[in-house]
Amino acid sequence: MSERQTVAGGREVGSVAVSDEGLLVRCPGARDFAVDVLFDGRRIASFWLRRDTVARGGDVLYRWPAPLQRFLHGTTELSLVDHVSGTDLYRAEVTLGTGAGRIRVQDRQGNPLGLDKSNRLSRLFTSRSAEHLEPLLDAIGTVVAALEEAGVRPFLAYGTLLGAVRQGGFIGHDSDADLGYVSECDHPFDASWESLRLQRRLTRMGFEVSRYSGLAFKVVIRESDGSPRGLDVFGGFLREGTLYLMGEVGRRFERAWLEPRSEVTLAGRTFPAPREPERLLEAMYGPGWRVPDPAYKFQTPRWVQRRLSGWFRGTRVGLDARWQRLHVSPTESTPEEPSDFVRWVLEREPGVRSAVDVGCGTGRDALFLARRGVSAHGLDYFPRAFRAADRRATRKNLDATFAWMNLTELRSVLVTGATLSRAPGPRVVLARHVVEATDRNGRENLFRLAKMVTRGSGRFYLQLRGTRRGATGSSDIPRLDLDRLRAQLAARGGRVVEELGLDSQEHRLAGQELRPSPRIHRWVVTWDD
């Protein structure tokens, strides 16, 4: 911890103490305002002095955000700057953590990183050269044209519109580009269906599209250095005088404020904007939108959140948390050996011809099945996880295929089920710790898929951690209420015809050991209709 220093000329900050935990700031009676944190003169993060800190004695503590912590080893010149006025509030050479040398917040290629307003570590515009921005500007133009060709009228939205209107360029502390459009439809059902059609048209034009929700997706484009950059496309619609725009807007609005569209300048290029962009900016950021705020937090009213979430969200349940884990440690610690579960299934199903592994991860079980002569199909939301297995299967001429599937997107489940129900039978579906990782809707879709594939020709095998209602316990994998799960299966015509209790090491429990209850369960399910 460095010595507490008094800030010279500090307008609203008394003193600052820097430690591995964060910044302890004395600000007697100071009003709340946005402060930039700079390392060696480069902005790394921003925070609001009151809103984003916790009280510690008479001071406030700004904890280092989690994504930043792994970089905080070494020495840097740390400065705090009033974001709006640019006034220096504090400056000192500080040493953090255990390492020597300068602190460098950067990616593996040495590109500087910083935290955007959502505290995500990103390559921010402020650290990108004009040469690197050109492909993004090109891409915005391309996606605008593609959306127009697909039948909607897009405009710059959110931070991109804000930067264009306020300063004619990108906001330095922002990291992505946003587009919006307002549908001709006035019902959430029609708006969603239109969004699905837009995705299909863009995919067929050759774009990589990744869906966030029923009314928003990301179009991925490649920059000059090959790095991917996503353009977010937010859909909206007007209903009974209210504009709903994913993901934060619900406000009284008139179509005449949107169309015919106007134009704004962004880094020297012209792009479409709503007819009165100031009105949309006020709907997005409130009346204070003209004052820069690098740590802006949306204050979306509850009624708007409930509507947008109810109508459109729920298609990424559990996925972002898993992505974070995958991102931090890409290999995790998954063993290469097949699971006990798949060996057990195969022992019981000597005649099986096709197997579907839902949530296949690295694909180790699918490869095992293929080596045993079973036609194997691995499904997962993260293709990166099974890429190596897919290559191995091709190289070794194994009968294993791998494909993307999202359990919380009904379309994805139905087309996957329709395809795999045509594989040679008998068929089995395996789901090892999948039911715990999704929500009720995801489980419903898993059962739907399993039934499509195994009804009339095979069985559905589940492994899960469960608990009886009212029981407590903590675990890194969430637990499920077994009675409810059984009821949910039964409602689909599914019957548990066999079950097995295992301890936490997946060893079988004998009858008298089954109390209080096994930690891991295996179920075999067949369908009554």
Partner 1 sequence: MGGHMGRLNDLKKGYHSVVGLRGRLADLEEEIQECRQVNLRLAELCDVMMELLLPVAERDEAEVAAILARYRTDVSEPLRWRSG
Contact flag: residue 409 with partner 1 (CB under 8 A): yes
Let me know: does 44 contact 71? Beta carbons within 8 Å. no
Contact flag: residue 327 with partner 1 (CB under 8 A): no
Identified binder of partner 1 from the candidate list 106, 184, 193, 257, rule CB under 8 A: 193
Please, which residue, 224 or 419, has the CB nearer to partner 1? Answer: 419
Q: Residue 28, preceding bond cis, omega within 30 degrees? A: no
Contact flag: residue 411 with partner 1 (CB under 8 A): yes
Identified binder of partner 1 from the candidate list 107, 186, 189, 504, rule CB under 8 A: 189
Rounded to a whole number, what is the largest CA-CA distance in the chain?
81
Please, which residue, 30 or 220, has the CB nearer to partner 1? Answer: 220
Q: How far is the CB of 217 from partner 1 (least distance, A)?
A: 11
State residue 90 phi and psi, 5-degree precision: -165, 145
Contact flag: residue 418 with partner 1 (CB under 8 A): yes
Contact flag: residue 497 with partner 1 (CB under 8 A): no
| Residue 220 DSSP SS3 | strand
Contact flag: residue 204 with partner 1 (CB under 8 A): yes
Total number of residues binding partner 1 (CB under 8 A)? 45
What residues pair up with 525 in beta bridges, in sequence order? 460, 496
Contact flag: residue 70 with partner 1 (CB under 8 A): no
Q: What is the CA radius of gyration of the chain?
A: 27
**Which tokens hold the place of 378?**
């691995």
Q: How far is the CB of 363 from partner 1 (least distance, A)?
A: 12
Contact flag: residue 203 with partner 1 (CB under 8 A): yes
Let me know: does 436 contact 465? Beta carbons within 8 Å. yes
Please, which residue, 404 or 504, has the CB nearer to partner 1? Answer: 404
Pick the stretch among 76-84, 201-209, 250-258, 490-498 that binds partner 1 (CB under 8 A): 201-209
Please, which residue, 35 or 379, has the CB nearer to partner 1? Answer: 379
**Which tokens hold the place of 169?**
């360029």
Q: Residues 37 to 56: which contact partner 1 by CB under 8 A?
A: none
Identified binder of partner 1 from the candidate list 30, 61, 92, 403, rule CB under 8 A: 403
Identified binder of partner 1 from the candidate list 410, 480, 500, 509, rule CB under 8 A: 410
Q: Residue 485 and residue 438: Cα distance in Å, rounded?
A: 13
Contact flag: residue 312 with partner 1 (CB under 8 A): yes
Cβ-proximal residues to 354 (8 Å cutoff; 6+ apart), any chain: 374, 375, 376, 377, 420, 423, 424, 425, 426, 427, 428
Contact flag: residue 315 with partner 1 (CB under 8 A): yes
Pick the stretch among 25-33, 34-42, 304-312, 477-485 that binds partner 1 (CB under 8 A): 304-312
Pick the stretch among 59-67, 72-80, 183-191, 292-300 that binds partner 1 (CB under 8 A): 183-191
Q: Residue 241 and residue 238: Cα distance in Å, rounded?
A: 6
Please state whether beta strands 22-26 and 15-18 pair in parallel, antiparallel, or not at all (unpaired): antiparallel
Identified binder of partner 1 from the candidate list 92, 209, 326, 480, rule CB under 8 A: 209
- From the list 104, 86, 93, the residue with the least C-alpha distance to 34 is 86
Let me know: does 105 contact 112? Beta carbons within 8 Å. yes
Q: Residues 378 to 397: which contact partner 1 by CB under 8 A?
A: 381, 383-384, 387, 390
Q: Residue 202 and residue 433: Cα distance in Å, rounded?
A: 34
Contact flag: residue 185 with partner 1 (CB under 8 A): no
Please, which residue, 388 or 514, has the CB nearer to partner 1? Answer: 388
Q: Residues 214 to 273: which contact partner 1 by CB under 8 A?
A: 214, 220
**Which tokens hold the place of 138?**
């090109």
Q: Residue 265 and residue 161: Cα distance in Å, rounded?
A: 9
Q: Residue 323 and residue 382: Cα distance in Å, rounded?
A: 8
Let me know: does 89 contact 13? Beta carbons within 8 Å. yes
Identified binder of partner 1 from the candidate list 120, 422, 484, 507, rule CB under 8 A: 422
Side chain identity at residue 268, one-letter code: G
Identified binder of partner 1 from the candidate list 19, 262, 419, 475, rule CB under 8 A: 419
Please, which residue, 162 or 405, has the CB nearer to partner 1? Answer: 405
Tokens 């395996």 locate to 430
Contact flag: residue 401 with partner 1 (CB under 8 A): no
- From the list 382, 526, 521, 375, the residue with the least C-alpha distance to 450 is 526
Please, which residue, 167 or 309, has the CB nearer to partner 1? Answer: 309
Contact flag: residue 199 with partner 1 (CB under 8 A): yes
Phi-psi region of 417 (alpha: psi -120 to 50; beta: other; left: phi over 0): alpha
Count the residues in the chain: 529
- Please report which helix (H) or strand (E) contains residue 384, including its range: helix 383-395
Please, which residue, 319 or 509, has the CB nearer to partner 1? Answer: 319
Q: Residue 287, preceding bond cis, omega within 30 degrees? A: no
Residues that bind partner 1 (CB under 8 A): 187-190, 192-193, 196-197, 199-200, 203-204, 208-210, 214, 220, 306-307, 309-312, 314-315, 381, 383-384, 387, 390, 403-406, 409-412, 414-416, 418-419, 422, 441
